[in-house]
Amino acid sequence: MSTTLNRATGPGTSAPSSPSFRTLARVVLRLHRGALLTWVAVVVLVGAGLVWLRWVGASVVLPGPLECWVGPGCGPQETVQESEMTHHIFWLDWVSVLLLALPVAVAAWAGAALTGAEQERGTAALAWTQSVSPRRWIAVKWAVAGGVLTAGASSLVLLFVWARSVPYMDGSPLDDWTDWLTFSASGPVAPALFLLALTLGAYAGLLLRRSLAALAVSAGAMFGVVQGLPLLIPHLWPTERIFGWKVTAAPARAWVLSESALDAQGRPVSMSDCQYGKESLVRQCAEAKGIEGVETLFHPASHAAPLHLAETALILALTAALAFAALRLLRRRTP
Amino acid sequence: MTDTDTAIEARGLGKRFGRRNALDACSFRLPAGRICALVGPNGAGKSTLLTLAAGLARPSGGELRVLGTTPAEARREIAYVAQDKALFPQLTVADTLRLGADLNPGRWDQEAAERIVHGDGAESALDPYAKVRGLSGGQRTRVALALALGKRPALLLLDEPVSDLDPLARHQLMGTLLAEAAEHGTTVVMSSHILGELAGACDFLLLLGGGRVRMAGPADDLTAVHRLVTGPGGAAELAPHTVIESRPHGRGQSALIRPEGPVGPGWECEEPSLEDVLLAHLRNPSAPALLAPEATVRDLAGTGVQA
Amino acid sequence: MIAYRIDRRSGVATYLQIVQQTRQALRLGLLEPGDKLPTAREVVEATAVNPNTVLKAYRELEREGLVEARRGLGTFVRRTLGPDADTGPLQAELAEWAARARKAGLGREDVAALCTAVLDSTYPEGEDR
């Protein structure tokens, strides 16, 4: 016996469809309005700062040859534009630190606010029972946040590279591509790190179902990644090798990984007491120890791009693995 | 067999959390269009059952069909309100309703949702620009119910919807809820501790105890099957009948029974109220289970199967 | 518009209470033929009672010929419930009986209990005529 008093349109007769991606994206942006505004503010501020830095750096004109600026000075004019240059380098370095520290904050936010809070508070269930499947909800959140973060981070990276490419930097020993902060902030590694942070945080929030725990775990893990990646970078691409008697055999601007004296069997031998004096004396001393030559392993400047891309690929692979794990977790938990 | 007249059908449904069986081999059928009371002591599995039916968790065993299909596929037709009435705290009331409209394109009833949010008087009207985190418990319940009902669901699952409201708000919300449900033929499953109100509002009952189904069926049928008897005899005289609960009453006893045949002479018989039946079963969890024919699961041939 | 009051603890079935209160209103002249009864939805909203119950009560009233449902318009009162038997002689007989009962030593409550028992057996539950 039904209790209908007035069976008007039954459910489903007005051709309901799933909400479109655009609608869901709008919903997500409205839900995380605060975070969106914060991110936009950060990007705008840092971006404006980079534009200003470019202007400062472009106006630096070095009066003498570059070699005078590193090592013992050549004359009194060196100090003329030193303050401008110092400003430029100093703030640029801080921007690169920021670009690599922000992902930690993003991971914390993603864990706490993007997924953790919803799981803890039960509002995830609210979305899921308002006709969005769990996987679709997480996917849209990730895509929207990822898009916003990537766009912002990429703009900042482009501005950073532009702010660095000022005349005085060209060929300057200050332009050290092996400094991992500068290295990471000058290409797709930085935006990739933001994506990794987002995915890591989202997964932690889903797994732990508690905002505070997810915040701590994802921030800690991301910090570990950011600190640990530099150790991995040199091993991401095969090194070049030179074997001979020149102690500093690597070309200029190369990233030297190791210099070791090897004997006939290829075992490293210490040369510490042979370092001083003319080259012929050094050679005599070394031969007396049974040293066959000095092996230098290094990455020339031409390896910068491949290394960078390899690191990006590694980060994206990690991101994909975490995304897959998150989806599998959802599939296991909810129908 | 297409089954458009069954809202929920469970066969051997089970859900385990670690080593604890929240639900254990539950089998029952809830026909469509009913207002069903889901009753049971704490820990009986009421919230778990609602969660499973809403598609928020996977059963550990058995089968659950909602509106003729799986809970995941029926997502659009099911509305669920959790016990804590979870809402997004940073949204305003108007934004929350807009969320409902956005997430349910083509079937959102903005008028009905607003009617529930603003109550039936200027006094109880909510400021649409108030943030959800600043609302009182009763106001949040209203918003949560508005979200659920605005979706025009075929099945409404409510976990203790009015328990934390004052009596007046409770009465008003129940009235609104029932009126809306009746108008659209919505099946409502409501878990609650407040037996008195449930007894008046519900026409179907599902009693859980220890994760198992203890009673299921139309409320009228369930009371009709029981009798409250008082008489001078001892326990032996009631032996052929199923005794749910019996107490000494002066020199004789008073008992709630399911008679199997006529009750002997000297016993005064009356039909108990639904509340009497429920309380007796809650006090005596070891009483044998009872499933009315309408509440038994249908096998593939369409005939009833006693659980 | 008539307002129903449901007493859940009275032991009387809810739908019967609605029927009885409608009859009472008719008897007291609060409802006259042509008056519209509240819609089932309105009753449910006001009393938080199961909609089936209200429908059952209205059907019962319709069966007794007191109301009629007009499609799309609502439920309307059809006739009054005036007493159609002359109660004068009946009341006189009752007064005589009450005097006899009092002389026999029965108190007011004893008489009331006797009356209830007789009424219960003469008008079994559900029947008003």
pLDDT value of position C72:
83
Give which of A163, A50, A38, A156 is closest to A99, Cα–Cα: A156
Residue of B nearest to C47 (CA): B175
Q: Do C50 and B202 touch (CB under 8 A)?
A: yes
Phi-psi sector, B37: left (phi>0), alpha (psi -120 to 50), beta: beta
Structure tokens at A60: 């630096």
Per CB-CB distance under 8 Å, the chain B contacts of A22 are none
pLDDT value of position B6:
92
The Cα–Cα gap between B302 and B1 comes to 8
Which CATH architecture fits B1-74+154-167+175-216?
Answer: 3-Layer(aba) Sandwich (3.40)
- Partners for B (CB, 8 Å, 3+ pairs)? A, C
pLDDT value of position A3:
44
pLDDT value of position B226:
92
CA separation (Å) from A216 to A104, A256, A299, B184, B223?
A: 10, 37, 37, 48, 55
pLDDT digits (tens, 9 = 90+) for B48-97: 999 999 999 999 999 999 999 999 999 999 999 999 999 999 999 999 99
Q: Identify any residues that bridge with B28 across adjacent strands, giving them in sequence order.
A: B10
pLDDT value of position C127:
62
The Cα–Cα gap between A260 and A270 comes to 8
Q: Name the average pLDDT for chain A.
A: 85
Nearest neighbour of A16 by CB, restricted to B86, B89, B105 = B105
Residue of A nearest to C39 (CA): A5
C47 and C25: one domain?
Answer: yes
The Cα–Cα gap between C103 and C120 comes to 25
Q: Is the pLDDT of residue B205 over 60?
A: yes
The total of structural domains in chain C comes to: 2
What integer is the mean pLDDT of A282-287?
76
Find the length of chain B: 307
Please report whether residue C5 resides in a domain: no
C20 and C48: one domain?
Answer: yes
Of B173 and B299, the structure prediction assigns the larger pLDDT to B173
Please report whether residue C96 resides in a domain: yes
C-alpha triplet A253, A257, A262: angle, nearest 5°? 120
Q: How far is C104 from chain B (nearest CA, A)?
A: 29
pLDDT digits (tens, 9 = 90+) for A126-162: 999 888 999 999 999 999 999 999 999 999 999 999 9
pLDDT digits (tens, 9 = 90+) for A185-230: 999 999 999 999 999 999 999 999 999 999 999 999 999 999 999 9
Q: Do C52 and B197 touch (CB under 8 A)?
A: no
C34 and C65: one domain?
Answer: yes
The Cα–Cα gap between C123 and C16 comes to 14
> How big is the B-C interface in CB pairs under 8 Å?
48
C62 and C37: one domain?
Answer: yes
- Partners for C (CB, 8 Å, 3+ pairs)? A, B
pLDDT digits (tens, 9 = 90+) for A285-322: 777 777 788 888 899 889 999 999 999 999 999 999 99
Contact status of B111 with chain A (Cβ, < 8 Å): no
Q: Is the pLDDT of residue B125 over 60?
A: yes
pLDDT value of position A75:
58
Contact status of C45 with chain B (Cβ, < 8 Å): yes
Q: Is the pLDDT of residue B302 over 70?
A: no
Q: How confident is residue A70, by pLDDT bands cut at 50, 70 and 90?
A: low
Please report whether residue C2 resides in a domain: no
Of A28 and B233, the structure prediction assigns the larger pLDDT to A28
The Cα–Cα gap between B301 and B237 comes to 41
Per CB-CB distance under 8 Å, the chain B contacts of C13 are none
Q: Do B175 and C6 touch (CB under 8 A)?
A: no
pLDDT digits (tens, 9 = 90+) for B250-288: 778 888 998 888 877 778 888 888 888 888 888 888 888
B227-231/B268-270 β-pairing: antiparallel
Q: What is the DSSP string of A8-47?
A: -SPTTTT---PPPHHHHHHHHHHHTHHHHHHHHHHHHHHH
C72 and C99: one domain?
Answer: no
pLDDT value of position C8:
77
pLDDT value of position C122:
86
Q: Do B178 and C14 touch (CB under 8 A)?
A: no
C21 and C68: one domain?
Answer: yes
Boundaries of domain holding C44 = 14-77
Domain limits, CATH 3.40.50.300, in chain B:
1-74+154-167+175-216
The Cα–Cα gap between C78 and C59 comes to 13
Per CB-CB distance under 8 Å, the chain A contacts of C50 are 3
C-alpha triplet A102, A104, A107: angle, nearest 5°? 110
Q: How far is C18 from chain B (nearest CA, A)?
A: 13
Q: How far is A6 from chain C (nearest CA, A)?
A: 9
pLDDT value of position B123:
61
Report chain C's C-alpha Rg in angstroms: 18
The Cα–Cα gap between B209 and B207 comes to 7
Please report whether residue C7 resides in a domain: no
Structure tokens at C78: 């059809």
The Cα–Cα gap between A266 and A285 comes to 18
Q: Do C48 and B182 touch (CB under 8 A)?
A: no
Nearest neighbour of A8 by CB, restricted to B103, B147, B184 = B184
Residue of A nearest to C49 (CA): A3
Instruction: Return the CATH number at C66.
Output: 1.10.10.10
Residue of C nearest to B169 (CA): C48
C98 and C43: one domain?
Answer: no
C50 and C93: one domain?
Answer: no
Contact status of C3 with chain B (Cβ, < 8 Å): no
pLDDT digits (tens, 9 = 90+) for B215-233: 999 988 898 899 988 888 7
Residue of C nearest to A6 (CA): C41
> Which regions of chain A does DSSP assign to beta strands (E)?
240-244, 255-263, 268-269, 291-299
Q: Identify any residues that bridge with B213 across adjacent strands, giving them in sequence order.
A: B208
Q: Do A11 and B152 touch (CB under 8 A)?
A: yes
C-alpha triplet C61, C66, C71: angle, nearest 5°? 75
Q: Is the pLDDT of residue A10 over 60?
A: no
Q: Do B103 and A131 touch (CB under 8 A)?
A: yes
